[in-house]
Amino acid sequence: MIKIGCAAYSYRDYLKDGRMKYEDFIEEAYRIGLDGVELTLYWLPSKEKSYLRTLKRLSAIRGLPISCVGISTNFCDPNPSEREKNVKAVKEGIEIARELGAPCLRVFGGYVSEGVHVDDAMKWVVESIKSCVNYAEENGVIIAIENHGGITSRASDVIKIVEEVNSQWFKVNLDLGNYREPLYEEISKTIPYAVHIHAKVSAHLDKGKREVIDYEWIKKALLSKGYNGFLSIEYEEEEDPKIGVPRFARHLFNIFCG
């Protein structure tokens, strides 16, 4: 059965200014009745093992598996030392995911700088991730690249990266709202590679067009391709997430669990 979770990123404004701690986010997810939580790591107050274990314990007590953890990376930088910094960030992220008991780590491919050939950027992405997959396997954490614009704007490029890395420890975090048109065709191509999915209310398409995502279609597509993981809400609408996330969660539960 597909599970409904939520990314801490949904409450980013609360986490940034301190109105909410990660512990509060976990309690909010419990209050809503979600199946799990995704810990976007940007605002962690500490990376000490004692703190991470506190979050792991609270999640366990609340019956909420940590479905994924997320970091931001850019492997398209033409400077090798900058790419190496991102590789180190991935390895640190893998260690944090392992400590939290999360099965996967979300990363980004990055954005191609002006004057850089796309083929070169693609090679850097593949080489960088290849240098991390053995460490991922040793720690039992899958690296999941997100379709997050830039080098991963199109499904064909996402799939190319996955196939060239060629590791069972490297898959995709499919963000349903990040592709442009044809949206559903792009989503459909990517589903077989997905180990974790971000559920958005709407997608921002070409020429400023915005479209509410059809989750009845998504359900059929996921089930037809055998996806059985998490739909993790990543709420980006203007409404306060304390109002919008529970409403969107109910919508997803009605479709996937009703």
Q: Tell me, what's the pLDDT at 207? A: 77
Rg, C-alpha atoms of the chain: 17
> Is the per-residue pLDDT at 205 higher than 90?
no
Question: Please, which contacts does 112-119 make with residues 24 or more away whose CB atoms are closer than 8 Å?
Answer: 112/76, 112/150, 112/151, 113/76, 113/77, 113/78, 116/76, 116/78, 118/151
Q: Pick the closest to residue 141 from 87, 103, 197, 168 (CA basis).
A: 103
Q: Pick the closest to residue 93 from 50, 142, 54, 57 (CA basis).
A: 142
Q: Tell me, what's the pLDDT at 57? A: 98
Which structure tokens are listed for 65?
Answer: 């598996």
Q: What is the DSSP string of 118-149?
A: HHHHHHHHHHHHHHHHHHHHHHT-EEEEE--B
Say how many Å lie between the first and final Cα of the chain, rounded. 12
Per-residue pLDDT tens digits for 69-126:
999 999 999 999 999 999 999 999 999 999 999 999 999 999 999 899 999 999 999 9
Q: Measure the CA–CA gap between 3 and 29, rounded to whole angstroms.
A: 13
Phi, psi of 149 (to 5 degrees): 75, -170
Q: Measure the CA–CA gap between 215 and 220, rounded to whole angstroms.
A: 9
As a whole number, mean pLDDT of residues 191-207 equals 94
Asked whether the bond before 78 is cis by omega within 30 degrees of 0, the reply is no
Q: Tell me, what's the pLDDT at 213? A: 97
Per-residue pLDDT tens digits for 14-65:
999 999 999 999 999 999 999 999 999 999 999 999 999 999 999 999 999 9
Per-residue pLDDT tens digits for 208-240:
788 999 999 999 999 999 999 999 999 999 999
Please, what are the domains in the chain? 3-256 (3.20.20.150)
Mean residue pLDDT of the chain comes to 97
Beta-strand relationship, 66-70 and 170-175:
unpaired
Q: How confident is the model at residue 195 (pLDDT cuts 50, 70, 90)?
A: very high
Q: Give the helix/strand (H/E) hosting 197.
A: strand 194-199
Is the backbone of residue 135 left (phi > 0), alpha (psi -120 to 50) or beta? alpha
Phi, psi of 212 (to 5 degrees): -70, 130
